[in-house]
Chain A
Amino acid sequence: MEYVIDMRNIRKEFPGIVANDNITLQVKKGEIHALLGENGAGKSTLMNVLFGLYEPEQGEIYVKGNKVVNNDPNIANSLGIGMVHQHFMLVDKFTVTENIILGKEPTKGGKVDLHTAAKEVQALSDQYGLRVDPYAKIEDISVGMQQRVEILKTLYRGADILIFDEPTAVLTPQEILELIQIMRKLVSEGKSIILITHKLKEIMEVCDRCTVIRRGRGVGTVDVKDSNPDSLAAMMVGREVNFTVIKGISEPKEPVLTIKDLVVLDSRKVPAVNGLNLTVKAGEIVGIAGVDGNGQSELLEAITGLRKANEGSIHLRDKDITNKTPRSVTGSGLAHIPQDRHKHGLVLDFSVGENMVLQTYYQKPFSKNGILKFSPIFDKAKKLISEYDVRTPDAYTPARALSGGNQQKAIIAREVDRDPDFLIAAQPTRGLDVGAIEFIHSKLIEQRDKGKAVLLVSFELDEIINVSDRIAVMYEGKIVAIVDPKETTEQELGLLMAGGKRGTVNAE
């Protein structure tokens, strides 16, 4: 059998660690091949070896049957290998066409021939059903379309082996469906795809075969049709994983968070939250389901004091926290696992220890008379690191050096440890592997069982249905329905999230 990509017994070492140890990856022509592994398992390293960014210590690489010594990304390009990056590499102010031709501009009489290029882009876009407007500016188009521009970029450069790096992490459920269609179309036109992911559902749905790596080692390659999510997860993590979230029945008590007729304007001065009412009680997890952009971010920002509420009121127990500063809201007993952990959750250049006291550094025992007390700070940090199993060399390591899952664990440790009455968890498991997801869900439920109120915002319907005790569907800045997760389906939620009607259910 001829493989388009045949990486044999790859070993790559970095000072102190073996990132790839004897990994074999063989991709057949015309298949979608999943590369599955936990965060930090060595998937990216392996792809960087394939791409010529790292030189392996051991092993051989064959592309389309020819042995290659690859130490230059340009060679990978000329071999027809293209990468669709997780974080898009696009110039915001440029049009789609300008971005695609960047670095390979067709010229006519010394001028960039944008017109011909745009036609080519249009033709490629039509061929693969990508529906991209060649003249649109990147800053004006949706994330899903930006990703399709990235795909076009590789196709324009003649790639027939496409590597997708965690492509669904940034997409809405609808966009994920579209992407799956596009990937099917690509392979039907003779392309081969390597899909880097840790989402088992996607692998089951779209992939032909799957290679699993765990802690740098190749575990094996399986046919997807002969496997199931449980067995894949066990291969990836090295133990059985619980997918069904284990939790008892909730016992909601008194209301903790009460929001009345809230109106919040977004950055363009348009009401993003428009007359919203919501109550979260002690001892329950309320999940907010909604398509991205229906006011969830603005709602959370208003609750946490990061954005001004224009009308309405927010109460935490009996205390009015409407338009209070973040510090005073935090002091009233709120903890917040923010949606964007790099932007809001952590100061990446601070050590893990310094990050652990981000809201409490000015209080005793972490400081006295304005002087920081480092031993209590790092004692606290070390305690949290071991309690929450944050994998870091030590508390003095910059937060930037940690993997996404461990950064998230650090944030959760910090927030939960403050013992808040009310916990907001916004996309708490985005981009994390199943092991970390399991851990985070169990922590949220633990908080609930301690009698805390938890507000969960997520775009993953699975997560909303599995973890929540009540689901509030948010659409165009309002809660349009409250449903019981035990009595609903993804289909029904999807319909409500799109603004569809259901038997009149009123928000409490």
Chain B
Amino acid sequence: MQNKNNKMKLLVPLVSVFLGLLIGGIIMLVSGYRPIEAYVALFQGMLGGPYYIGETIRQMSPLILSGLAVAFAFRTGLFNIGVEGQLLVGWLAAVYVGVTVDAPAIVHIPLAILAAAVAGALWGAVPGILKARFKVHEVITTIMMNYIALYTTNEIIRNFLLAPGERTENVKESASLASPFLQSITEYSTLHYGIIVALIAAVIMWFLLWRTTMGYELRAVGFNQHASQYAGINVSKNIVLSMAISGAFAGIAGSMEGLGTYQYMTINAAFTGVGFDGIAVALLGANSAIGVVLGAALFGGLKIGALNMQSIAGVPTELVGVVIALIIFFVACSYIVHWLMNRVSKGGKI
């Protein structure tokens, strides 16, 4: 039984990816593009050479972290739709520390990442407190907090950190995750050390949830608040804690952008989307640490490959957006996949 479940956990995403690509191909065909050519270009753009691999991995790093944020909250019974906002405040905090503090890299980088984590945690804790104290649903408050984060971070940059070009100064070299070494082995992609941070975070998430008493409490509260209260677990504390930890992951995702990819923060006209992609990544990865890493690899790869698909096969990048949406659709209604597989396994008999 357990075995069968594990098999399904792997099969549902795989079949969903296949179906997403298949229907995406049909859409291309109908729209007058050549799907085979497009997918070859897409695949090459994902993994067809060191440069592309580097770019894919770079794109993965924040996605892993935002996926972990969503998955962590979900495992403890909460829907954190506010990863986007927590990511923005984390980004700003990391850049602020990166710009203003003087320290050797060994101190400066961890300090900037820590600042991002703390900022994200505080931002996440607010909806947690509102839920624990006043029973306000976290989906509502986290969505609202996203907007507050977007406009607040913009305002802070505009008033205190503005540099020419609607952005902040670059972070100091001692705070930068950029790696000439990684760049050189990937034909000068923008790959940076953030992937290491992301993978460590994935291990931390797994360890925290499954190996510690804190994780035991968080999961118990997520499954059954009444039984947790009966057992003497402080339910309110755990709701706040869960949101704070989830927010910390999201904040670190922001630091990937601030210390790694961009080295600064711009005044954002709109959301980055990385936080929302985290929801899809967590869904695709069945809310497990390893699943999130794999899901992020797929999403990161598709997004990077889409650029190549456009330049080689002339298919607009938006089509990859359609494929991603289809994949999410099939994972979300895994019922259809189950049904299809049952039909196949029964040999076409209803």
- Centre residue among B211, B213, B219, B229 by max chain A CB count within 10 A: B213
Which of A326, A362, A372 is close to B230, meaning CB atoms less than 8 Å apart?
A326
Tell me if A304 and B230 are in contact (CB < 8 A): yes
Select B227's contact among A15, A325, A344, A370, beta carbons within 8 Å. Answer: A344
From B215, B219, B230, give the contact of A344 (CB < 8 A): B230
Whether the Cβ atoms of B232 and A347 lie closer than 8 Å is: no
A77 within 8 Å of B (CB atoms): no
Q: Find out whether the CB atom of B223 lies under 8 angstroms from the CB atom of A372.
A: no
Which among A15, A306, A328 is the interface contact of B229 at CB below 8 angstroms? A306
Assembled-state Cα–Cα distance A349/B226 (Å): 13
A336 touches B230 (CB 8 A): yes
Instruction: Report chain A residues within 8 Å CB of B184.
Output: none
Complex Cα–Cα for A345 and B224 (A): 10
Distance in angstroms between the alpha carbons of A325 and B224 in the assembled complex: 18
Instruction: Name the one of B223, B230, B231, B232 contacting A348, with C-beta atoms under 8 angstroms.
Output: B223
The answer, yes or no, to whether B163 is at the interface (CB within 8 Å) is no
B129-149, CB < 8 A from A: none
Q: Is A367 on the interface with B (CB-CB < 8 A)?
A: yes
Partner of A347, one of B211, B215, B227: B227
Q: Given A354-B216, A367-B213, A370-B212, verify A345-B232 contact (CB < 8 Å).
A: no
Any chain B CB within 8 A of the CB of A187? Answer: no
**B residues within 8 A CB of A37?**
none
- CB pair B212 A358 closer than 8 Å: no
Q: Which residues of A contact B93 (CB under 8 A)?
A: none
Q: Which residues of B contact A44 (CB under 8 A)?
A: none
Is B334 positioned at the interface, with any CB of A under 8 Å from its CB? no
B344 interface hit (Cβ, 8 Å)? no
Could you tell me the distance in whole angstroms from the C-beta of A308 to the nearest C-beta in chain B? 13
**Whole-angstrom distance from the CB of A132 to the nearest CB of chain B?**
31
Q: For residue A350, which residues in chain B have a CB less than 8 angstroms away from its CB?
A: 219-220, 223
CB–CB A372/B227 < 8 A = no
From residue A325, how far is it (CB to closest CB) to chain B in Å? 7
Query: Is there an interface contact between A358 and B229, defined as CB atoms closer than 8 Å?
Result: no
Question: CB-CB contacts of A98-130 with B at 8 A, as 1s and 0s?
Answer: 000000000000000000000000000000000
User: Closest Cβ of chain A: how far from B120's Cβ, in Å?
Assistant: 22
Complex: A372 Cα to B211 Cα, angstroms: 5
Give a binary string over A369-382; 1 marks a CB under 8 Å from any B CB, 0 the rest.
01110000000000
Separation in Å of the A211 CB from the closest CB of chain B?
Answer: 30
Residue B214 lies at the interface, judged by CB distance under 8 Å to chain A: yes
* Cβ contacts under 8 Å, A354 to chain B: 216
B170 contacts A by Cβ under 8 Å: no
Residue B183 at the A interface, CB < 8 A?
Answer: no
Are B213 and A358 neighbours in the complex by a CB distance under 8 Å?
no
Asked whether A338 is an interface residue with its Cβ less than 8 Å from the other chain, the reply is: yes
Interface string of B305-339 (1 = CB under 8 A from A): 00000000000000000000000000000000000
0/1 per residue, A340-352, Cβ < 8 Å to B?
0001111111100
Task: Tell me whether B214 and A370 are in contact (CB under 8 A).
Answer: yes
Task: Report the Cα distance A367→B224, complex, angstroms.
Answer: 21
- Report the separation of the CA atoms of residues A445 and B300 in the bound assembly, to the nearest whole angstrom: 63
Chain A residues at the B interface, C-beta cutoff of 8 Å:
15, 304, 306, 325-328, 330, 336, 338, 343-350, 354, 358-359, 361-362, 367, 370-372
- Can you offer 17 A-B residue contacts whose CB atoms are under 8 A? A15-B1, A325-B234, A326-B230, A343-B224, A343-B226, A343-B227, A344-B226, A347-B223, A348-B224, A354-B216, A358-B231, A361-B213, A362-B213, A367-B212, A367-B213, A371-B213, A372-B213
Which B residues are within 8 Å of any A CB, using their own CB? 1, 211-216, 219-220, 223-224, 226-234
Among all A-B residue pairs, the 4 with the closest Cβ atoms = A327-B232, A358-B231, A344-B230, A326-B232
